[in-house]
Chains A and B, each alone.
Chain A
Amino acid sequence: MSLLDVEGLSVRFDTDDGPVHAVDQLSFTLADGEVLGVVGESGCGKSVSFMSLLRLLPETASVSGVARFDGVELLASSNARLRAIRGRRIAFVFQEPMTSLNPAFKVGNQIAEVLRRHLGLSRADARLRTIELLDLVRISSPERRVDEYPHQLSGGMRQRVMIAMALACDPKILIADEPTTALDVTIQAGILDLMRDIRERLGTAIVLITHNLGVVADVADRVLVMYAGRKVEEAPVHDLFARPQHPYTVGLLGAVPRPGSGRLQEIPGRVPSLAELPTACAFAPRCPRADQLSRSQVPELREIEPSHLVACFHPGPDAEAT
């Protein structure tokens, strides 16, 4: 049995300009200790999906579907019940470590707050445990750092503090939303090493939301590709990069400059509006393989090889000429 089992997750925002279908019928599972990479470009619904699971979205969002976590149905849970899970058993790390930390409090106190609230530790115990956590995320001289304010730390260290805070209650799942996007490459390398280390030492399952295919190639076991609110492809990491099937995945991989690559592949057009639920393949207007079929029907996900799912009428690894 998987740790997290999401079925038919849909998120709709009611805005002044009408509804926006941010996530449409998303299903996936997450196993114990697995690193799941979720990739896609801005607005594809990758962050919203995971925020909706923990009820972190504004009230304009209507969420439907089923999300089972360790015997609990998250979407139907009461706020009180969810509070016991959020931050304790499923923890979140956000992109911007500066805006997610409170500048007016010492970082140690911010981590200790989590420990005191969720685990009921005393002030002294919480402090000791906080120092342990800072050490766990490899912050040097944690006894000193614990009494520093966020502005005294570098960007990479702030992100380590955020991760320490997320790990405070030894969660089963760590959801990291673009954890390295705001960081320099040498700092990013350190954070990715830390993620790998956490999974190995603590067995935490990690959801890594990113737009960076290199980051996914580095740490993920399995990858989910999203486009316009839907999952278009899912596969073990090596299969996805060696034999991408969906033309969008193929396009994304071709768009990244890499050693010896020729002209970069462009994906013409732009992301569709999410105002209406699709009646055809959402990628069809930008797809070199589009035909009558994909313009009139929504492709269902099918398993074309073991554990490799794709939602396309014309799957295949080659970038066909337009």
Chain B
Amino acid sequence: MSDPPVLEVEGLVKHFPVRGFGAKGVVHAVDDVSFAIGRGELLGLVGESGSGKSTVANCIMRLVTPTDGAIRLKGVDITHLSRRALRPLRRDMHMVFQDPYSSLDPRMTCGQIVGEPLDVQGLARGRDLDAQVVKLFDHVGLRDELRFRYPHELSGGQRQRVGLARALAVSPALLVADEPVSALDVSVQASILNLLRDLQQELGFSCLFITHDLATVEYLCDRVAVMYLGKIVELAPTAELFADPKHPYTQSLLSAAVVPDPVAQRARQRVVLEGDLPSPLEPPSGCRFRTRCPLEERSAPQSHDEEPLLVDTGGGHLVACHLVARGERPELFRPVEVSR
């Protein structure tokens, strides 16, 4: 137990200033987000467009510099390290991107793409490098001859395998995957998700898996964090979250997800959220979800004045809701057991 978690995020804040077009202000992309990922753990980060989930990933990878808070990778604070100081630590974290078309350099062969991290980190050269790339291709289920092909010659699924091989080339402790299967067809998605699960079990890396698809999270992840407008509203072990969602937003999200079963799908009750996502330029005071929360009346006026804190309701099930904190149960939606 002496080992620190692979990743610790504490009080992460990222504000983007906006100027021009008559608008002036600050986009509150991520506001005070904290979580940790243990060794070999898969944490799912779900939320809709604009919830700030990708910004969290970009902060962790230091692709953007956080406004405030701390990010620790294996106990080392990397929040303010210079690019140079960060470089050796980059071995320990790699990213897989959503779009397998634009995240691979079109002028490099797939073999070069996969070998590049090894080269940059000075881990292998010449024949040794080739041998490792051959192994990696085999690992992610790509035919060896594809090493000499260019990305445009490959299908979407094959390209995403190249992206995965590149990310895993230096055996990182942490893999950050930002919507890695969203751009793929259903049958291809299945093979990439299976591959990711197999590789994780074999290599034991930790993973932050970002997606808007709840079913994928349920299939893959150990724990799930749900984000809404820059905040984590609920964080729980996967089975717990899906069986007993506590936050009204999580409940509405689960009720809206479609399942490929006409009987179950048509029988389910749906929670319809009124209105649109508020502007992250001026997030609502107090509880950020209050403008769309169907139970707002019950929590007012506290919801206007006070921000709900993420509190543990037992068993590592964290919820940020005034009603839950008071011991009430928001019950908009009960998951139905789907027999199959």
Q: Which A residues contact B (CB, under 8 angstroms)?
A: 41-42, 140, 154-157, 184-190, 192-193, 211-218, 237-238, 241, 251-261, 263-268, 270
Contact = CB atoms under 8 A, between A and B. Distances in A.
Given A189-B256, A260-B338, A241 B187 contact: no
A227 to B, nearest CB: 11
**Size bracket of the B interface:** 35 or more
A212 B260 CA distance: 8
Contact of A241 (B262, B270, B272, B277): B262
Contacts of A156: 276
Contacts of A214: 257-260, 265
Contact of B194 (A187, A193, A213, A263): A263
A154 B260 contact: no
B266 interface: yes
12 contacts: A184-B49, A185-B48, A186-B252, A218-B265, A241-B260, A252-B186, A255-B186, A256-B190, A257-B218, A258-B338, A259-B215, A264-B191
A238 B187 contact: no
B242 interface: yes
A263 B216 CA distance: 12
Contact of B263 (A140, A192, A238, A270): A238
A214 B214 CA distance: 13
A154 B219 contact: no
A217 B260 contact: yes
Contacts of B218: 257, 259
Contacts of B155: 270
B185 interface: yes
B193 interface: yes
A267 B277 CA distance: 38
Contacts of B215: 256-259
A191 to B, nearest CB: 11
Contacts of A215: 258
A193 B186 contact: no
Given A241-B260, A255-B189, A217 B272 contact: no
Given A186-B252, A267-B191, 11 more contacts: A140-B275, A184-B212, A186-B253, A213-B186, A214-B259, A241-B260, A241-B263, A255-B187, A259-B340, A260-B338, A260-B340
B273 interface: yes
B3 interface: no
B282 interface: no
B185 A217 contact: no
B265 A217 contact: yes
A215 B186 CA distance: 13
A159 to B, nearest CB: 13
A266 B187 contact: yes
Q: Give the most central of B186, B257, B259, B273: most A CB within 10 Å.
A: B186
A184 B48 contact: yes
B37 to A, nearest CB: 21
B73 to A, nearest CB: 29
Given A186-B253, A193-B272, A257-B215, A218 B194 contact: no
Contact of A218 (B187, B193, B266): B266
B256 A186 contact: yes
Q: Give the most central of B189, B252, B253, B261: most A CB within 10 Å.
A: B261
A264 B213 CA distance: 15
A261 B48 contact: no
Nearest to A239: B262
Nearest to B262: A217
A214 B256 CA distance: 11
Contacts of A211: 185-186
A185 B277 contact: no
Contacts of A257: 190, 193, 215-216, 218-220
Interface in B194-239: 194, 212, 214-216, 218-220
